[in-house]
Amino acid sequence: MDKKFFLGIAVAAAIIFFAAAVATSLPKNTISAEDRETLYQVSTIDALMQGVYNGVQPFSEVRKHGDFGIGTFDALDGEMIALGGKYYQVKSDGNAYPVPDSATTPFSTVTFFEPDFRITTDHPMNYSELSVYLSKHLPSKNMIYAIRMHGIFPVMKVRSVPRQTPPYLPLTAAVANQTVFTYAGANGTVVGFTIPQFFAGLNVPGYHLHFISDDKKIGGHILDMTVPADASAELDITPGFHMVLPESGQFAGTDLTKDMHADLAKVER
């Protein structure tokens, strides 16, 4: 044994060290194909409808499950939009703020957005017309689709809700104090999902869309909008659904057997 043997060991050790550093850094950034095609959801919409507003999961955890999506905040403090891995909070002043990792959510739905196909409008339409038009072009009614639509929207009518204080009122009462903003020629992105009817109780059947402007200054939950004649919606077919139910707190004790369908329609549009 002499120096050259140990030089050989040293060179190889350097290679091992480098290889190990690469190998251990990979898993953290690698999200399985299954996770990427999955809608991740915290809690249920019917719990939120009944005033279960306490945040149950930090956004540091939510972020791990998606770079795209919508939701709300502890105490119903605004509308959440995630786009391109950045999370935004649109408060009741209508302005968008970055979401700190420590903020928590009582209800959110996110995924990793990777568009599978595109639907382009052939004439201007409002939200209801757009919903019918997109639905006609979906390959199956029994699938979750993430929807991203970038453009200049002639009318963009959005709302946010003010932070609530306990004891919490149901969502129908909370939205009575919502602030509504109507923008003309809004430059930005529509972010959201369309979900099959059989998810009633868990999520919002049909279209649930939020908006964030290109300058990331304004946004909200879309109440109505008009889209131009050549608007292009990108859709991500999402066959997986991963929901996490809160194990304790408000959620555990709430009566979730009621049919909230009619109330849901009131608060969504």
Q: Which residues bind a second copy (CB under 8 A)?
A: 1-2, 4-13, 15-16, 19-20, 23, 27, 34, 38, 44, 46-47, 139-144, 196-202, 237, 239-248, 251-257
Shortest reach from residue 98's CB to a second copy, in Å: 26
- Our CB check for a second copy shows the closer of 137 and 163 to be 137
- Our CB check for a second copy shows the closer of 6 and 177 to be 6
The pair phi, psi for residue 255, each rounded to 5°, is -80, 105
Question: Which residue's structure tokens are 């009318």?
Answer: 155
Shortest reach from residue 176's CB to a second copy, in Å: 25
Shortest reach from residue 185's CB to a second copy, in Å: 37
- Our CB check for a second copy shows the closer of 10 and 229 to be 10
Distance from C-alpha of 102 to C-alpha of 87, rounded to nearest angstrom: 12
Of the candidates 173, 184, 160, 188, the one whose C-alpha atom is nearest the C-alpha of residue 89 is 160
- Our CB check for a second copy shows the closer of 4 and 136 to be 4
- Our CB check for a second copy shows the closer of 4 and 185 to be 4
Q: How far does Cα 61 stand from its chain's mean position?
A: 14
- Our CB check for a second copy shows the closer of 113 and 211 to be 113
Shortest reach from residue 2's CB to a second copy, in Å: 6
Q: Count CB-CB contacts under 10 A for residue 86.
A: 15
Shortest reach from residue 227's CB to a second copy, in Å: 26
Q: List Cα–Cα distances, 144 to 75, 92, 128, 139, 148, in angstroms.
A: 28, 29, 19, 11, 13
Report the b/e string of 147-156 with b at 16+ CB within 10 A.
bbbbbebebb
- Cα Rg for the chain, rounded, in angstroms? 22
Shortest reach from residue 201's CB to a second copy, in Å: 4
Of the candidates 97, 58, 64, 93, the one whose C-alpha atom is nearest the C-alpha of residue 80 is 97
